[in-house]
Amino acid sequence: MVPCHDRPPGRHDPRATEWSWATPVPELRLQLPADWLAPSIARRRLQRWLEVNGWSPGQAEDIVLVASEAISNSIEHGYRVPRDAVGSAHVVEVLAAVLAENGYRQVRLTVRDRGAWRPIAYGPSNRRHGLELMRSLMADVVVDGNPDGTTVVLTSRTTVVPPAAQD
Amino acid sequence: MSDQDRPAREQLMTVRADDRAEAVVLDVEGEVDDYTAPRLQAAIAAAFDRLGDRVLVVDLAHVEFLGSAGLGVLHRCALAARRDRGADALRVVVDHTRPVIRPIQLAGLDGVLALYYTVEDALVG
């Protein structure tokens, strides 16, 4: 793992000329108690991480939306958590990483639960809308369900690294 | 995880009802997700109960997040309103708010919901 810098290069950062976006962006890792506040907590954390790393508001919105949907799937279908539960012994793990190459980049989101898997495509209409949103907003959606839990890997569309953030 | 990362349900979304002569206007503010959507559904149901001949305007212009749970509420309420009161009874104001209009379009609900840019437009119908 490359050492994490405490903040990314920005226009006012004196170190901005010393390193580029080729430098791996620190990943975002969240371990969320699987209750119904988890999606909103993840939205805030992910939004901040995307902003700090220079994603446009529109791109960030799409990524935050699909992350929220995937986490909701885990809570509802993986763990079947009641709406009013506060806290949970279960955990939803979220990992966000930037894949960057030749001036292009994507975000890869991994959302993992350890619950009993059910096919989300056949769930209630909320979840069907959620899956539609994920599929239409992401370049790639992989749902891997097995008896030990479900892992959803969402890869955002490729975007050009903003010129201001390049060398 | 710090406490400020665990918002109360009331902080995430508020619904304010404005009872007017010709309409009930629900001003929804904040984030509509699985946690808060049941309150939106309850507010719409309560408004329908006292609506009479008026129309119901759901103003989403101040909504910052609309997930599938919110889409589901809007979809179900629009279908129920159309069945019980005709196509014109439930009107939704979306402004140009991207976090709201984009999920509505992606889910294909722009063909189901009666959408308006402003509350004034919605009141005119």
Q: 3-state secondary structure string, chain A? A: CCCCCCCCCCCCCCCCCCCCCCCCCCCEEEEEECCCCHHHHHHHHHHHHHHHCCCCHHHHHHHHHHHHHHHHHHHHHHCCCCCCCCCCCCEEEEEEEEEEECCEEEEEEEEEECCCCCCHHHCCHHHHHHHHHHHHHEEEEEEEEECCEEEEEEEECCEECCHHHCC
What does the pLDDT average to over A128-145? 90
Q: Which of A44, A64, A127 sits opposite B68 (nearest CB)?
A: A127
* pTM score of the predicted model: 0.85
Model confidence pLDDT, tens digit, residues A30-55:
999 999 999 999 999 999 999 999 99
Q: Searching chain A, which residue's CA lies closest to the CA of residue B32?
A: A40
Site from B1, B3, B66, B68 to mutate, A interface, most A CB atoms within 10 angstroms = B68
Q: Check whether B20 has a pLDDT greater than 70.
A: yes
Q: Do B107 and A76 touch (CB under 8 A)?
A: no
Partners of A76 on chain B (C-beta within 8 Å) are: 34
Window from A36-40, B4-8, B95-99 with minimum mean pLDDT? B4-8
Six-digit token string for B19: 């009872």
Q: Which of A43, A83, A126 sits opposite B68 (nearest CB)?
A: A126
